[in-house]
A = this chain, B = another copy of it.
Amino acid sequence: MPTLQDVAILAGVSTATVSRTLNKPELVEPVTRTKVAEAIKVSGYTRNEAARSLAMRSSRTIGLLTDNFASSYFAPIMDETVDILREYGYYTIVEATGNVANNIDPGKQRRAWQSLISRQVESIIVLSLLVDDAELENMLREFPNTVLIDRHVHEDSNRCITVDHYVGGQLAAKHLLDNGHRNIAMISGPENKPDANLRGKGFIDELLRQGCPIKENRIFQGDYTITSGTNAMQQILNGKDEVSAVFAQNDDMAAGVVNACYTAGIKVPEQMSVVGFDNSALATAVFPHLTTVSQPLKSMSHSAATLALNLSQRHQREGVLPNPQTHFMPALIERMSVMDIRPKQR
């Protein structure tokens, strides 16, 4: 592998000049600039980032900590983030905690986290629903340059990118109500997850406010997996309780609901309306396409990347980017899984 030195000799200049033409071309004469460019080309030089990091005491690297890659919810965020970061010359190094629902390995979490830190990342973006709050606080104490997506830790709310799950729940409720539904069931996400709780609370409150309180026995516990949706729906169906609509707190469970309906010979949406949450890839894969609540993932990623950049070394040289929006509003995406059951116009 050729080094800066090699290039310098080849071009007949000093290493400083080569370095400068690479990093601050405006400081070097156009003619030497081309000489150097030529030398780089013939030697096939690529800069050694390790040496650069060491010399600059800055790694130009942002860590991204996620639960696992399989979650459809993470993918768009990761795509976007990696993209923006590269645009600013930053690398993204990814670690996964390996967490999946019901299988959390604290050891692996810590190792992934440590791994990022010793890699001298300048900032970390946490995209994990499954690292628990206490652990998260620890991490933040250890490495404060962290931005959280969809998690909230009181101290530092301007480093949290959040979306209003409460409003999302309300949106779902409104939509069902607007379409004439009164006998409504809900399938919750994991008990201890604030996002799930808020979705539920928003939903319940809105129903109540519109004079149509949800019955206790129509609230079922799920855990965000497809099968938990299927199971809950089977209970609903077996209950011979006249339910016309169900709100599943995420799309995976909504898909499970649709599955259970088909199995039982119930038509969606004709006999059962369902609304999901997340607008994940599943929403348009199942039939009928799911009416769901979407989070503006793209904008959220953008904010996260910007925030991370601002926390990094970069801003000390090139200044800080305008501070991005951190709180976002969800929106209802109307598709085919909800039926209007209001009596026809007179």
Contacts and interface: CB of A to CB of B under 8 A. Distances in A.
A70 to B, nearest CB: 4
A117 interface: yes
A51 to B, nearest CB: 5
Contacts of A289: 259
Interface in A69-92: 69-70, 72, 74-76, 78-79, 82-83, 86, 91-92
B96 A79 contact: yes
Interface string A104-115: 000000011011
B118 A46 contact: yes
A174 to B, nearest CB: 27
Interface string A257-282: 01100110000000000000000011
Contacts of A78: 69, 96
A98 B75 CA distance: 12
B47 A50 contact: no
A252 interface: yes
Contacts of A95: 82, 86, 92
A228 to B, nearest CB: 13
A118 B83 contact: no
Nearest 3 A/B pairs, CB to CB? A50-B53, A70-B75, A69-B75
5 contacts: A48-B118, A70-B72, A70-B76, A94-B94, A252-B285
Interface of A: 46-51, 53-54, 59, 68-70, 72, 74-76, 78-79, 82-83, 86, 91-96, 98, 111-112, 114-115, 117-120, 226, 252, 255, 258-259, 262-263, 281-282, 284-289
Given A49-B118, A82-B95, A286-B287, 11 more contacts: A50-B54, A70-B76, A72-B72, A82-B94, A83-B96, A86-B111, A91-B93, A92-B95, A255-B285, A262-B287, A286-B286
